[in-house]
Amino acid sequence: MLLWTVVLFFVPCLGKTVWLNLRAWPDPVFEGDTLTLQCQGRRNAAVSRVTFYKDGKSLQFSKDSQTLSVGPATVKNSGRYWCSGQVTYGPFKDMQISRITMVQVQELFLPPVLSTVHSSEPREGSPVTLRCETMLHPQRSALRLLFSFYKEGHVLQDGGLHPELCIPGAQDGDSGLYWCKAAPEGGRVQKQSPQLEIRVRAPVSHPLLTLRPGPTGLAVGDMVELLCEVQRGSPPILYSFYLDGKILGNHSAPHGGAVSFLFPVMSKQHAGNYSCQAENSVSKESSGPVTLSLDGPLVLSTPTSSNWLVPWLPASLLGVMVIAAALLGYFRPWRKNGPLPPQNLPPAPSGEQHSLCAKVHYQNKKEEGVIYSAVRTTSNSEARPAESTSREKDNSVIYTEVRCPQLGEVPAKRLNMRSRTHRDPLGDRDEVLYW
């Protein structure tokens, strides 16, 4: 009877009492430490079939083990932990859940930061000092940290006690991405810094100025291109153009290279000494002067000016000559067929007969007529003396064309006309007509 009384008293207490307890150590726990979780039964009660949880997720189940090791610990291992298991106390067994235990993993040291002592864009030839900065937790300040430096995957310093790295004379090849790592001596934690870009700035060289198409042989109206270029220098580069010391304009080259300045020659004021200047964040340099001279016309040609006709003048003259030749051929005298037009000759004194003398040239025997190149009239008194004398005293010369009729074409009533023919050595003949 007494035994049942004790049992009835114990059972209600078993259902209301928390018989599981979760313990985590070390406390406090730092990065790199091994975190151990243990699920214990109250009053040395036996615990079996244990499951560990973190933030609502099951981590491990074991039938016999009541411990769980997590290591090396990191900040990500921080969170809310608890466990569940079967508690056996005497003849009774029951599934129990422990209270929640908060675990906070402390940072052993802060993530390192890589920086430069002076500038991340040093001038070429100047020294560069890289510094890997971090800080240990006050409770672990006695630890020593080791530092390593890297550049684009290459190790520059591995595991040194000094947190700085010096580059004595930076060159263009030293430009790139750098980072560092810090780790406690003998520890299992290491942290890497963010990347730092180092750009070694090279000064610009003396720029070279080129005029296109050339500094001579230019005239008003021509387009001129000023080309300025440096052989070396870190971008961006600002180029400025000058005429006799006065600035004309500037252009920027964000990625380096040459820059051109285009302008038309409007007057002789554009002649002079041109130069350019290149400048970046390190230095600036000027080119030597280039003299532009105007050798051509100094007046700008326009469509209304007489200069516009100069290139077309030879063609125009040739066209005029062709047209004139065509008109001359069209309006030249043509041979006319028909009798000689009547002549109103004055009556001959004392009944003298008048004669008509002509110089006749037969061009072609097959032609219907002949052409009289010279026709003159004389009296009988002048026609009878020697022909040489009469020809020198010609008073009236008529230029005409006379058609010689063919056989059958002579009219029935012919003129009372007599003729006399004289042949000369050249094949022509003089024919004197009388009426």
Q: What is the pLDDT of residues 48-61, one digit of tens each?
A: 999 999 999 999 99
Residue 150, pLDDT > 90, answer: yes
| CA distance linking residue 326 with residue 316, whole number of Å | 15
Amino acid 215: pLDDT: 64
Q: Any idea which of 79-83, 194-198, 321-325, 332-336 has the lowest mean pLDDT?
A: 332-336
User: What is the pLDDT confidence band of residue 307, given thresholds at 50, 70 and 90?
Assistant: very low
Residue-wise pLDDT tens digits, 231-240: 999 999 999 9
Mean pLDDT of 184-191: 90
User: Under CATH, what is the fold of the domain 113-198?
Assistant: Immunoglobulin-like (2.60.40)
Domain boundaries 20-106, corresponding CATH code? 2.60.40.10
* CB-neighbour burial class of residue 200 (10 A; exposed 0-12, middle 13-18, buried 19+): buried
User: What is the pLDDT confidence band of residue 44, given thresholds at 50, 70 and 90?
Assistant: confident
What is the overall mean pLDDT for the chain?
A: 76
Residue 357, pLDDT > 60, answer: no
Mean pLDDT of 410-416: 43
User: Under CATH, what is the fold of the domain 208-292?
Assistant: Immunoglobulin-like (2.60.40)
| CA distance linking residue 396 with residue 73, whole number of Å | 145
Considering the chain, what percentage of its residues have pLDDT values greater than 90? 49
113-198: same fold as 20-106? yes
Amino acid 242: pLDDT: 95
User: Where along the chain do its domains lie?
Assistant: 20-106, 113-198, 208-292
Classified as helix, coil or strand, 408 is coil
Residue 166, pLDDT > 90, answer: yes
Amino acid 296: pLDDT: 56
Q: Give the residue with greater pLDDT, 280 vs 365.
A: 280
Q: Give the residue with greater pLDDT, 286 vs 399.
A: 286
Classified as helix, coil or strand, 311 is helix
Under 8 Å between Cβ of 264 and 216: no
Q: Record the tokens describing residue 414, joined without a space.
A: 């012919």
Mean pLDDT of 322-345: 59
